[in-house]
Amino acid sequence: MAKVYNWQLGREMEYRFEGGAAKRQFAAVFNINRCIACQTCSMACKSTWTFSPGQELMWWNNVETKPYGGYPNHWDVNILELQEKANPGGQVWDPATKDPKTAPYGRFDGKTIFETADGVNSIATGYIPPEADWKAPNIHEDTSTVVPAGGASLPEHSGWFFYLQRICNHCTYPACLAACPRNAIYKREEDGIVLIDQNRCRGYRKCVEACPYKKSMYRPSTRTSEKCIACFPRVEATDPLTAGLPMETRCMTACVGKIRLQGLVQVDANGEWLEDRQNPLFYLVHVAKIALPLYPQFGTQPNVYYIPPRWVPRPYLRQMFGPGVDDAIAAYTNPTRETLAVLQLFRASQRIVFEYRIEQGPKTGELNVGGQKREIFNDTIIGLDSNGGEIVRVTVDEPTAERPGQLNSL
């Protein structure tokens, strides 16, 4: 095993290969607070990539209701239990050991899935879900925890649920890739997208076993494993719709709730993000710090980030997103003028925004948030493409249209 640096854990860790770097990295931010679980993203993906025989149980994009739902069933509880069994009581963070660049969430003092495996018989701790666990992708939809007598309370609800949107994280240190005995899985240097070479794959399912997020799936009709391919023709700008410009994936562009923003970020040899202040993803993850990785303690350095749901009890969220949760929710609940503008970029364009500019607008209102006075300004955010050309322009205030006194149907 080699030693690599995992900035989400604030420390070095063991991994099968050196580095994990790409020149640019596919990344996304999902705002859990806005998802309505319409499953348009799931259907956009399925109707594009997994509609053929043998793919019936495959949902490369799925949206599950937490805390009870999961696709496959209980995937995260199962991995957390395996890790806890391997390192009882030791899966803890030291949030005090913080560095803004190299350890923004503190240091994880527990063991990753690579460190609880023996490295010989198994590269990463995991399991292969039985077929039955893939058959009910939206089990426990909208099922809340028990609401105690007396009703819900704020700011954390005592009875709660939320939707978790999931795709392959195109991890910097992919467990699927490390576990493959055929070296059939590779990570592309140009965009960090993780793919399975269908000619090399022999369907041993080591990737299915190793991926902690269970985003590599077995297809019985071809006896190979398949996974999300990040709609790479769109990201590569070879889709006819793109006019030569990198484009967001199907699940991102179809999102009805406007909860998704996808991009390509610049990274160094450790997968650490290079300073790129005006990139909207860099801003949300590294400047505003309102978007966090999913189960960073697994150690794969996932590249999909989540704005955590405000109403959910913090201990649950800290286990899921790490110790950055409290600061992220505070920053999202009381956003700065810049954050409010950047949040308008979600699903505003099908093309990938590489840079943004903000034009300041007039004050249009005042709010009281948690006892603090907040002023609202109608700023305009401008999204630029990979060549610096303008592709989108959105205002903080949503334009409204007044219906005329007389309808044209009368």
Residues found near ligand SF4 in the complex (CB under 6 A): 35-41, 63, 165, 168-171, 174-176, 194, 211, 213, 215-216, 227, 254-257, 259, 300
Tokens of 366: 């005042």
> Tokens 């369907």 correspond to what residue?
203
- The residue number whose beta carbon is nearest to ligand SF4 equals 257
Q: Nearer Cβ to ligand SF4, position 105 or 306?
A: 306
The CA radius of gyration of the chain, in Å to the nearest whole number, is: 21
Interaxial angle between packed helices 314-321 and 325-333, expressed in degrees from 0 to 180 and rounded to the nearest 10: 110
End-to-end CA distance of the chain: 75
CA atoms of 395 and 382, how far apart (whole Å): 9
Least Å distance, CB 185 to ligand SF4, is: 7
Residues sharing a CB contact under 8 Å with residue 328, sequence separation 6 or more, in sequence order: 289, 290, 291, 292, 307, 308, 321
Show the CA angle centred on residue 145, arms to residues 143 and 147, nearest 5°.
115
Q: Nearer Cβ to ligand SF4, position 50 or 300?
A: 300
> Tokens 């009703």 correspond to what residue?
151
Q: Nearer Cβ to ligand SF4, position 15 or 282?
A: 15
Q: Nearer Cβ to ligand SF4, position 143 or 153?
A: 143
Least Å distance, CB 55 to ligand SF4, is: 16
Measured in whole angstroms, how far is the alpha carbon of residue 318 from the centre of its chain? 16
Residue 380 one-letter amino acid:
T
Count CB atoms within 10 A of the CB of residue 349. Answer: 20
Least Å distance, CB 410 to ligand SF4, is: 36
Distances in whole angstroms, Cα of residue 269 to Cα of each of 60, 174, 202, 281, 292: 28, 15, 31, 19, 21
Least Å distance, CB 378 to ligand SF4, is: 25
CA atoms of 151 and 148, how far apart (whole Å): 6
Least Å distance, CB 151 to ligand SF4, is: 26
CA atoms of 200 and 361, how far apart (whole Å): 56
CA atoms of 279 and 254, how far apart (whole Å): 22
- Give, for 12, the enclosing helix (H) or strand (E): strand 11-15
Q: Nearer Cβ to ligand SF4, position 178 or 358?
A: 178
Q: Nearer Cβ to ligand SF4, position 249 or 358?
A: 249
Q: Please write down the HEC assignment for all residues of 109-172.
A: CCCCCCCCCCCCCCCCCCCCCCHHHHCCCCCCCCCCCCCCCCCCCCCCCCCCCEEEEECCCCCC
Tokens of 203: 């369907």
> Tokens 């590599």 correspond to what residue?
216
Q: Is 341 exposed, middle or buried (0-12, 13-18, 19+ CB in 10 A)?
A: buried
Q: Nearer Cβ to ligand SF4, position 40 or 48?
A: 40
Q: Which residues pair with 260 in a beta bridge?
A: 30
Least Å distance, CB 176 to ligand SF4, is: 3
Q: Nearer Cβ to ligand SF4, position 176 or 329?
A: 176
Is 355 in contact with 246 (CB distance < 8 Å)? no
Least Å distance, CB 3 to ligand SF4, is: 19
Least Å distance, CB 228 to ligand SF4, is: 7
Q: Nearer Cβ to ligand SF4, position 2 or 92?
A: 2
Least Å distance, CB 201 to ligand SF4, is: 13
Q: Nearer Cβ to ligand SF4, position 59 or 356?
A: 59
Least Å distance, CB 190 to ligand SF4, is: 16
Q: Nearer Cβ to ligand SF4, position 107 or 170?
A: 170
Least Å distance, CB 195 to ligand SF4, is: 9
